Amino acid sequence: MTANWSEASEAVRQAKSILIVTHISPDGDAIGSLLGLANGLREMGKQVDAAVDGGVPLFLNYIPGQETVLGELKAGQWDLMVSVDASDEERTGEAGKFGRTHSTQVVNLDHHATNTQFGNFHLVVPEAASASEVVYDWLVYMGHPVSQASATALLTGMVTDTLAFRTSHVIPRTLMVAHDLMAAGAPLFDIINWTMVSRPISDFLLWQRVFPSVKYDDGIVSAVILPDDVKAVGLSDISDAGLVSTLVTADEVMIAIIFKVQEDNTVKLSMRSKVGYDVAQVAFALGGGGHKPAAGATVAGTLDEVWAKVMPMLREVVNRGKLMSG
Ligand code: 5GP
Ligand code: MN
């Protein structure tokens, strides 16, 4: 993995117009790193566009600058495109595709170990707990003081990717960065409440429909979400309402997986695992990506076909983990 801090910073210095994109189905870190950087670069006097297919999810609409994010890119030409929190080019969707062909250079800023090293300059830091932390480091590297608007965005990314500082990749430095962002005015209590605690009743109504599909077998728990389940409770089609993260907390469970059946004969997989069990390699082998404890992919086929393909792969991860732990 590489980090071309000086080359990437020089590219920003020379650029007048900059486009920032992130991954589709954006989470708190995708929007946090997007807006943390967009706000910072605008303060530096750059002309900045920020875009992600479908725009900012409702639960993140408190982040300063969110109203500037384009849900669709139809026109434009930029000196530089920066992709944040996306491990491969595909993940940046239509906005990324348009941006690539209308930008002179591309900076790839990310923290996924599965990053494919696309783009002209790389700021890929797998040790970082969130892409937002890499954006923080970059703003500091460029000598730009982090404003309250940027800090609120970046602390959002840190909080959501670490499940409020509860994951194994949190180290003392993570908390130091969070400290700096809080000191810059980011409201930690509100951010945790808005992103981690408060949830609409439709989340529970979805769980109510989905729970009968929950199956547990020797360390692996699974659940199936059908298009009708999502429609019935009026949720957006990307959400599992946090169910997979909850299922993995069961003592006996090493891996939790949700099969989200989609209308185009594909199944979206959402996986979570305990420390020592790597689901990123499974996701990567299926054409997706993510982190060891949280990864996903979209696989073509019926539920039965995808199930038959994926479950043995997860079984192998569990067996290998058992061997390693003696
Ligand atoms: P989630 O289960 O919350 O959708 O995703 C968990 C993690 O896996 C996130 O880091 C997300 O970016 C990554 N991920 C989920 N689906 C895909 C995919 O189709 N491709 C890639 N590259 N990463 C994915
Ligand atoms: Mn992230």
β-bridge mates for residue 124, sequence order: 110
272 CA closest ligand 1 atom index: 2
Helix 28-43 vs helix 131-141: crossing angle, to nearest 10: 10
Tokens standing for 37? 């950087």
Same domain, 166 and 49: yes
Same domain, 44 and 152: yes
Contact 222, 258 (CB under 8 A): yes
CA distance linking residue 215 with residue 195, whole number of Å: 28
CA distance linking residue 238 with residue 236, whole number of Å: 6
β-bridge mates for residue 113, sequence order: none
Same domain, 185 and 307: no
Same domain, 68 and 216: no
- Alpha helices, DSSP H, located in the chain: 5-14, 28-43, 93-101, 131-141, 148-161, 172-183, 188-192, 201-210, 227-233, 243-247, 280-285, 303-324
Which of 146, 176, 197 is a domain's end point?
Answer: 197
Proximal ligand: closest to the CA of 26: 1
Q: Is the distance from the beta carbon of residue 87 to the nearest atom of ligand 1 less than 6 Å?
A: yes
Count CB neighbours of 200 within 10 A.
15
Q: Is the distance from the beta carbon of residue 239 to the nearest atom of ligand 1 less than 6 Å?
A: no
DSSP for residue 313: H
- Closest C-alpha to ligand 1, atom 13: 290
Query: For residue 119, what are the contacts with CB-CB under 8 A and spacing of at least 6?
Result: 83, 105, 106, 107, 108
Same domain, 237 and 184: no
CATH code of residue 228: 3.10.310.30
Burial bucket for residue 8 (CB in 10 Å: 0-12, 13-18, 19+): buried
Query: For residue 304, what are the contacts with CB-CB under 8 A and spacing of at least 6?
Result: none
Same domain, 54 and 71: yes
Containing structural domain, residue 212: 201-325
Give the helix/strand (H/E) hosting 105: strand 103-110
Same domain, 73 and 105: yes
Which of 170, 197, 224 is a domain's end point?
Answer: 197
pLDDT tens across the length of the chain (326 residues): 778 999 999 999 999 999 999 999 999 999 999 999 999 999 999 999 999 999 999 999 999 999 999 999 999 999 999 999 999 999 999 999 999 999 999 999 999 999 999 999 999 999 999 999 999 999 999 999 999 999 999 999 999 999 999 998 899 999 999 999 999 999 999 999 999 999 889 999 999 999 999 999 999 999 999 999 999 998 877 778 889 999 999 999 999 999 999 999 999 999 999 999 999 999 999 999 999 999 999 999 999 999 999 999 999 999 998 777 64
Measured CA distances, 74 to 25, 83, 95, 97, 106 (Å): 19, 18, 9, 11, 19
Provide the strand spans (E) within 184-228.
Answer: 215-217, 220-225
CA distance linking residue 318 with residue 14, whole number of Å: 49
CATH code of residue 135: 3.90.1640.10
244 CA closest ligand 1 atom index: 2
Question: In this structure, what is the dihedral angle of CA atoms 189, 191, 192, 194, given to the nearest 10 degrees?
Answer: 120
Tokens standing for 297? 């992919």
Same domain, 188 and 270: no
DSSP for residue 3: B
State in Å: Cα 44 to ligand 1 middle.
32
Same domain, 14 and 73: yes
What is the model's pLDDT at position 325?
62
Same domain, 153 and 260: no
Contact 111, 129 (CB under 8 A): yes
Phi, psi of 200 (to 5 degrees): -75, 155
Same domain, 265 and 312: yes
Count CB neighbours of 199 within 10 A.
12
Which of 197, 226, 245 is a domain's end point?
Answer: 197
Proximal ligand: closest to the CA of 268: 1
The count of domains in the chain is 2
Tokens standing for 228? 């009708």
Tokens standing for 308? 């038959």
Same domain, 97 and 126: yes
